[in-house]
Structure 1
Amino acid sequence: MKNNIYFLTILLLLGLSATAQKVAFEEYDLENGLHVILHQDNTAPLVTTQVLYNVGGKDLGGDNNPERTGFAHFFEHLLFEGTKNIERGKFMEIVSANGGNNNAGTALDYTVYYEVFPSNNLELGLWLESERMLHPIINQIGVDTQREVVKEEKRSSYDNQPYRQFVFAISENLFKVHPYKNKNIGEMEHLNAATLDEFKAYFKKYYGPNNAVLVIAGNIDIPTTKNLVAKYFKDIPSGEKVVRNFPKEEPITEPITAKFYDPNIKIPAAMAAYRIPGFAERDSYVLQMISTYLSDGKTSKLYKRLVNDKKMALQAGAINIAQKDYGAYVLFGLPLGDNSLESLVAEIDVEIKKIQTELISERDFQKIQNKLENQFVNSNASVERIAGSLAQYYMLYGNTNLINNEIEIYRSITREDIKTVANKYLKPNQRLLLDYLPKETEQ
């Protein structure tokens, strides 16, 4: 009887989540190539304006010069400096003075800028983003100022934080030719060497309306909003089409071994990393389910085995680093006592082997599905999150309506798929074995 009630409850929750997640939106293109997505939600007097540019850390400066990393992240900061009509340093002051908040972020695949305002300030948000796109001031004063800002960010967020450099260590060894091997924040010597003309050329190449998506979500009137979008964006000149031709990575057929020394840690970490498909591929969704199975919470398989049962590790888990062209799937453990890094990898491999040779239990499979359903609901719990999802699904996945039906991909995955994908990608001869070590152990 209890089981029947349990599964009935799950079925009801699935139905409710599917209904709750229906997001209505309208999308269209301006003649200059700007893609516009509108989502009306009048439940609160708020509106968010968000512009996502199809440029990220993988896009190098200086005509794709490998000595010019970190440009996209640098522009995340530089484009707050000011514009023809916004005095230097006043961008964020204008936002806060009008009851709003704003921010920006850069990944290897994209850069996003956004504002959240009371809905009566929609026009202000559009004007600010059109100013950023149309005529920002890119001069030596701004470049020199933001160089120091980025250097301080690198010191405070990466160089002086324990384990924060593990993604850099993984990427530079897992990728040999693709620009994912570079740090998103860039190398400081590259930013120091870059000229003002190189920064101007980078903006001209990547920050045109035809390389962006504008999302407006919240308490809006659709016809009025369309008129405002046309007022502020239709006359912005289109840039040249961005063409990328990144080199392809050769398959990994033999294990790669590497060491990385972090001066901020006392306890080493064992890491096994695998190159996996980009996040839009179905196999990437399956790998995300495997990650949830292995690593989501203290009842997950890796934590239970290495931390609770064997008492070999302080922490253990799996991280799926999702990216557009290739991803990285990382299994890790922090040893307890005298346990070696090699012994942790061996125990992790035991759990991987189980997935490769046996179907996971129906109960565990249902738990994974329930967690993913919950994440799907929460991912669109506010207009800000909805705006972000709409922008990314359009620009990075090529399918805006994934905001409503992405969960169907997970629902279509079977236990057999999990076994098949684990065998396809999580092979010992297809991985990087990284010893992430305290600085004092370096020889």
Structure 2
Amino acid sequence: MKKLLIALAFCLPVLAWAESGKIDFVEYKLDNGLHVILQEDHTTPNIIVSVMYHVGSKNENPELTGFAHFFEHLMFEGTKNIKRHEFDKYVTKVGGNLNANTFFDRTYYYELLPSNELALGLWLESERMLHPTIESIGIKTQKDVVCQEMGQSRDNRPYGRLLTETLKKAYTVHPYNHDVLGKEEHIRNASDQDFIDFHNTFYVPNNAVLTIVGDFNMAEAKKLVHDYFNDIPSGAPVVQPTIVEPKKTAEVRDTAYDNIQMPALIMAYHIPGITSNDMYAVNMLNTLLAQGQSSRLYSTIVNDKQMAMELAAMPLPLEQPGLSIVLALPNMNVELSQLENEIDKEIDKLQKEPISDKEFQKLQNQIENQLVSSNATIEDRAYNLAQAYTYFKNTNEINEELAKFRSITKEDLQKAAKKYFTKDNRLVLYYLPKK
């Protein structure tokens, strides 16, 4: 029964906030700097307990890459009071589940639990934060695990290195120039002390956000949060990287080879960081260009002219200036240069001709639907609330985002297209089969 109720939490719409258009929450800081966000939702008897640490691959030493992803795994090894390989069993035996993920700017852990297990979720995350087990046997085990993952999900997988090669060629100095998995030799050769130092720098309460969303009592939650987390010592202030990628003044063109059968075209445009006001227009442009089969690039190049078998445009939502990537796989007998020219024509049209009222209304509807859907479950909201504070230092961004998108005009879209989707602001990468 508990598993069924937990499953329902992922399926049922959250009617209260959907009707009001606002997500109500409470937030505050503990004495050690831990930011706490609490959002009640009594739709189903479940809760999410999550912690987001403001550390990702961009925070790594360029000679020791892959550490943030490594700790995504290592922090499940156990703690002073939890034996090795026992962490997840505390959750699964009460019918819950748990997971974690790492990105360029943050690492995120969460437990989905029955609502009567709030204390369990808080105890687990406080254990993980206060005294995780970082010792030779666990480090050796996770070195094997993450290096195997590099091979399975990236190095030995068709097109697995596509993003890796794009980042490496798009960035010259910024730490976004390496992917989240990092290099195997860096993980293999790192010492135990290297990992301990990384942990002590970043996995501290003053560099984290604790979020609880779901069916709980506010007064009880506040007391439990204080009891489990307030006495955890804070660390030194964490300073995010200040390296600025030089402004591009000329198109970068390159070629990469992989064990693939079909070539691919990548066009990566430099865009502002996620907190920039321009990102609202950039996101809308990506939706307009290639989200869904009725989008401009897809309908013209894939459906009408049948020059590509697949085409997508997606922004890489990064805290600091990121990329908007157009990816296309050509049909047989279509050269990458031909495909590139057709994409250029559509982008050029976007820069020179304002979109119609009908297309603009459709675009606004798509964006609104995306935002509503993105907050439809307690899991989604826990993540979005944590990200809003981590990146924007404004948790209420979760409520302000829709109005900011609605404020974008057709003229704003045209300006953004002219500013960011230009040839001198992009990487064009031909991703080819090895001969």
TM-score bucket (shorter structure): over 0.9
Partner of 1:75: 71
Q: Is the 8 A contact 1:301 1:351 kept in 2?
A: yes
**Distance change >3 Å, CA 77–CA 153, structure 1 → 2:** same
Where do 1:261-340 residues align within 5 Å?
261-263=257-259, 265-340=260-335
1:300 deviation in Å?
1.0
| CA drift at 1:178 | 0.6
Match for residue 101 of structure 1 among 78, 88, 97: 97
- Give me the whole-angstrom Cα distance separating, in 1, the residues matched to 2:241 and 2:377: 36
**Matched pairs, number:** 420
Question: Residue 226 of structure 1 aligns to a residue in which SS?
Answer: helix
Per-residue deviation, 1:266 = 1.0
CA distance in structure 1 between the aligned counterparts of 2:275 and 2:17, rounded to whole angstroms: 22
Give 1:307's aligned amino acid: V
Aligned equivalents of 2:18 and 2:394: distance in 1? Answer: 18
1:127-183 CA distance string (max 9 Å, x none): 000000000110010011001110121111112332232211111111110100012
- Structure 1-normalised TM-score? 0.93
Q: Residue 106 of structure 1 aligns to which amino acid in structure 2?
A: T
Equivalent residue of 1:116, what SS?
strand
**How many angstroms apart in 2 are the aligned matches of 1:329 and 1:427?**
12
Specify the code of the residue in structure 1 equivalent to 2:147.
K
Aligned to 1:401: 396
1:215, distance to aligned residue in structure 2 (A):
0.3
Partner of 2:353: 358
Q: Distance in 2 between matches of 1:246 and 1:411?
A: 32
Cα distance in 1 for residues equivalent to 2:326 and 2:382: 32
Q: Per-residue deviation at 1:245?
A: 3.8
Task: Give the letter for the 2:150 counterpart.
Answer: K
CA distance in 2 between counterparts of 1:245 and 1:82 reads 30
Residue 17 (structure 1) shift: 8.6
Deviation at 1:192, TM superposition (A): 0.9
Query: Partners of 2:337 and 2:256 in 1: how far apart?
Result: 15
Please state how far the C-alpha of 1:244 moved relative to its aligned partner.
2.8
Q: 1:126 aligns with which of 101, 122, 127?
A: 122
**Match status 1:367 vs 2:362:** yes
Shift of 1:216: 0.7
Q: In the TM superposition, what is the alpha-carbon distance from 1:236 to its structure 2 partner?
A: 0.2
Name the % identity.
Answer: 47
Q: Pick closer, same or farther for the CA change 1:40–1:191 going to 2, 3 Å.
A: same
**Contact preservation (8 Å) 1:78, 1:146:** yes
Deviation (angstroms), 1:254 = 1.2
CA distance in 1, matches of 2:327, 2:383: 30
Instruction: State the one-letter code of the partner of 2:344.
Output: D
CA distance in 2, matches of 1:202, 1:160: 28
Q: Which residue of 1 aligns with 2:413?
A: 418
Matched, 1:232 2:245: no
Instruction: Indicate the SS of the match to 1:58.
Output: helix
Residues 17 and 377 of structure 1 are in contact (CA less than 8 Å); yes or no, is this contact kept in structure 2? no
CA–CA separation in structure 2 for the residues paired with 1:380 and 1:159: 34
In structure 2, what is the equivalent of residue 43 of structure 1? Answer: 43
Question: What is residue 7 of structure 1 aligned with on the other side?
Answer: none
- Runs of 4+ in structure 1 deviating by more than 3 angstroms, as ranges, are 16-21
- Quote the Cα distance in structure 2 between the aligned partners of 1:84 and 1:332: 46
Tell me which amino acid in the other structure corresponds to 2:30. Answer: L
Distance 1:58 1:278 in 2: 13
**Correspondence 1:249 to 2:245:** yes
Residue in 2 aligned with 1:180? 176
Aligned-partner Cα distance in 2 for 1:21–1:218: 17
Tell me the CA shift for residue 83 of structure 1.
Answer: 0.3
RMSD between aligned alpha carbons?
1.3
TM-score normalised according to structure 2 size? 0.95
Alpha-carbon distance between aligned partners in 2 of 1:107 and 1:304, rounded to the nearest angstrom: 32
CA distance in 2, matches of 1:84, 1:312: 58
CA contact (8 A) 1:47 1:219 kept: yes
* Partner in structure 2 of residue 4 of structure 1: none
What's the counterpart of residue 9 of structure 2?
Answer: none
Asked if 1:56 corresponds to 2:56, the answer is yes
Match of 1:84 among 80, 84, 100: 80
Counterparts of 1:398 and 1:286 in 2: how far apart (Å)? 21
Tell me which moved more, 332-341 or 42-51: 332-341
Residue 188 of structure 1 and its aligned partner are, at CA, apart by 0.5
Match of 1:438 in 2: 433
1:14-62 per-position Cα deviation (integer Å, ceiling 9, x unaligned)? xx997443111000000100000001111111011000000001111xx
Distance in structure 1 (CA, Å) of the matches to 2:164 and 2:280: 23
1:227, distance to aligned residue in structure 2 (A): 0.5
Q: SS where residue 129 of structure 1 aligns?
A: helix
| Equivalent position of 1:156 in the other structure | 152
3-state DSSP of counterpart to 2:288: helix
What amino acid does structure 2 have at the position aligned with 1:198? D
Partner of 2:166: 170
Letter in 2 for 1:292: T
Distance 1:366 1:414, change over 3 A: same
Any gaps of 5 or more consecutive residues in structure 1?
1-15
| SS, match of residue 59 in structure 2 | coil
Amino acid paired to 2:186: H
Aligned to 2:33: 33
